[in-house]
Amino acid sequence: MKVLVLEDEPDTAAYVKRGLSEAGHVVDVCTDGRDAFHLASDESYDVMIVDRMVPGMDGLKTVKSLRAAGVRTPVLFLTAVSGVGDRVEGLEAGGDDYLTKPFAFTELTARVNALARRPPISEVKTLLRAVDLELDLLKRTVTRAGRRIELKPQEFRLLEYLMLHAGQVVTRTMLLEHVWSFHFDPKSNIVESHMSRIRAKVDRGFGRDLIQTVRGAGYRIDADA
Amino acid sequence: MRTPRITGTAAFRLATAYALLFAISAAVLVAIFEFTISNYARHSLRTDVANEVQLLLRTAPGGQDAGVAQLVRERQRALGSQEFHYLVFGRTGGVLAGDLPIASARSGWSEIEIPAPAESREFSGETDEIRTLGAILPGGGMLVVGRSTYAFHELRETMMSTTIFAGVLVGLLSMGAAILVGWRFLARIDRVNAAAVRIMEGRLDERLPTIGMGDEFDRLSASLNAMLDRMQGLMEGLRQVSSDIAHDLRTPLTRLRRRLEEALIDEGANPDRDALVHEALGQIEEILATFSALLRIAQVEGGSGSQAFGPVNLSELMDRVRQIYEPVAEDEGKQLSAQIAPGLTIDGDEGLLAQLISNLVENAFVHAPSPGKVVLSATADGPRAVIAVADNGPGVPEEEREKVVRRFYRLDSSRTTPGAGLGLSMVQAIAQLHHAELELADNGPGLVARVSFPRLASAKLEN
Rounded to the nearest integer, the mean pLDDT of chain B is 82
Interface of A with B in 115-174 (CB under 8 A): 152-154
Q: What is the mean pLDDT of residues B440-450?
A: 90
The answer to whether B385 touches B400, Cβ cutoff 8 Å, is: no
Interface of A with B in 11-70 (CB under 8 A): none
B296·A152 Cβ contact <8 A: no
Q: How far apart are CA A134 and CA A147, in angstroms?
A: 10
Q: Looking at residue A4, what is its pLDDT? A: 95
Q: Looking at residue B420, what is its pLDDT? A: 65
Please check the confidence at residue B221 and state whether its pLDDT lies above 70: yes
Q: Looking at residue A119, what is its pLDDT? A: 64
Q: Looking at residue B151, what is its pLDDT? A: 77
Measured between beta carbons, the chain A residues lying within 8 angstroms of B278 are: 216
The more confident residue out of B69 and A14 is A14
Q: Looking at residue B122, what is its pLDDT? A: 65
Measured between beta carbons, the chain B residues lying within 8 angstroms of A190 are: 324-325, 327-328
Q: Looking at residue B459, what is its pLDDT? A: 47
Q: Looking at residue B120, what is its pLDDT? A: 62
Please check the confidence at residue B418 and state whether its pLDDT lies above 50: yes
Q: Looking at residue B121, what is its pLDDT? A: 60
Q: Which range (A115-124, A138-147, B132-141) has the least confidence?
A: A115-124
Please check the confidence at residue A137 and state whether its pLDDT lies above 50: yes
Percent of the residues in chain A that have a pLDDT greater than 70, as a whole number: 97
Q: Looking at residue B417, what is its pLDDT? A: 61
Instruction: Quick: pLDDT tens for A11-31.
Output: 999 999 999 999 889 999 999
Q: Looking at residue A136, what is its pLDDT? A: 93
Which amino acid is present at B82?
Answer: Q
Instruction: Quick: pLDDT tens for B137-156.
Output: 877 788 888 888 877 788 88
Q: Which range (A90-99, B290-299, B401-410, B449-458) has the least confidence?
A: B401-410
Q: Looking at residue A177, what is its pLDDT? A: 92
Q: Looking at residue B337, what is its pLDDT? A: 94
Q: How far is CA B92 from CA B96, B105, B251, B325, in A?
A: 10, 13, 140, 142
Please check the confidence at residue B413 and state whether its pLDDT lies above 70: no
Q: How far is CA B345 from CA A24, B307, B454, in A?
A: 50, 18, 9
Pairing of strands A75-79, A47-50: parallel
Q: What is the mean pLDDT of residues A154-177?
A: 93
Report the residue of A178, A179, A187 to disrupt the B interface, i.e. the one with the largest count of B CBs within 10 Å. A187
Q: Looking at residue B462, what is its pLDDT? A: 47
Percent of the residues in chain B that have a pLDDT greater than 90, as a whole number: 20
The more confident residue out of A119 and B189 is B189
Q: How far apart are CA B353 and CA B340, in angstroms?
A: 16
Helix axis angle, A105-116 to A172-180, nearest 10°: 50
Question: pLDDT grade, residue B118 (50/70/90)?
Answer: low
Q: How far apart are CA B328 and CA B372, in angstroms?
A: 13
Pairing of strands B108-115, B127-136: antiparallel
Q: How far is CA B337 from CA B374, B390, B443, B444, in A?
A: 6, 10, 15, 17
Choose among B326, B321, B376, B384: nearest CA to B351.
B321
Residues of B near A (CB-CB distance < 8 A)?
A: 278, 285, 288-289, 292-293, 295-296, 299-300, 304-305, 307-308, 320, 323-328, 330-332, 349-352, 354-355, 358, 362, 365-366, 418-419, 423
- Show the CA angle centred on residue B211, arms to residues B207 and B216, nearest 5°: 110
Q: Looking at residue B367, what is its pLDDT? A: 85
Q: How far apart are CA A181 and CA A185, in angstroms?
A: 11
Closest residue to B324, CB basis, from A84, A85, A190: A190
The more confident residue out of B31 and A132 is A132
What single DSSP character describes residue B93? Answer: S
Question: pLDDT grade, residue B421 (50/70/90)?
Answer: confident
The answer to whether A71 touches A46, Cβ cutoff 8 Å, is: no
Chain A residue with the nearest C-alpha to that of B290: A185
The more confident residue out of A195 and B287 is A195
Helix (H) or strand (E) holding B146: strand B142-148
Question: pLDDT grade, residue B1 (50/70/90)?
Answer: very low
Instruction: Quick: pLDDT tens for A39-81.
Output: 999 888 999 999 999 988 999 999 999 999 999 999 999 998 8
Q: Looking at residue B6, what is its pLDDT? A: 62
B299·A196 Cβ contact <8 A: no
Please check the confidence at residue B387 and state whether its pLDDT lies above 90: yes
First to last CA, chain B: 55
Q: What is the mean pLDDT of residues A98-105?
A: 89
Q: Looking at residue B463, what is its pLDDT? A: 45
Chain A residue with the nearest C-alpha to that of B329: A193
The answer to whether B313 touches B344, Cβ cutoff 8 Å, is: yes
Please check the confidence at residue B52 and state whether its pLDDT lies above 80: yes
Q: How far apart are CA A153 and CA A147, in angstroms?
A: 19
Q: What is the mean pLDDT of residues A94-117?
A: 90
- Domain architecture of chain A: domains with CATH: 2-116 (3.40.50.2300), 123-221 (1.10.10.10)
Instruction: Quick: pLDDT tens for B267-314.
Output: 666 667 778 888 888 888 888 888 888 888 888 887 777 777 899 999
Rounded to the nearest integer, the mean pLDDT of chain A is 90
SS (H, E, C) chain A: CEEEEECCCHHHHHHHHHHHHHCCCEEEEECCHHHHHHHHCCCCCCEEEECCCCCCCCHHHHHHHHHHCCCCCCEEEEECCCCCCHHHHHHHCCCCEEEECCCCHHHHHHHHHHHHCCCCHHHCCCEEEECCEEEECCCCEEEECCEEECCCHHHHHHHHHHHHCCCCCEEHHHHHHHHHCCCCCCCCCHHHHHHHHHHHHHCCCCCCCCEEEECCCEEEECCCC
Measured between beta carbons, the chain B residues lying within 8 angstroms of A216 are: 278
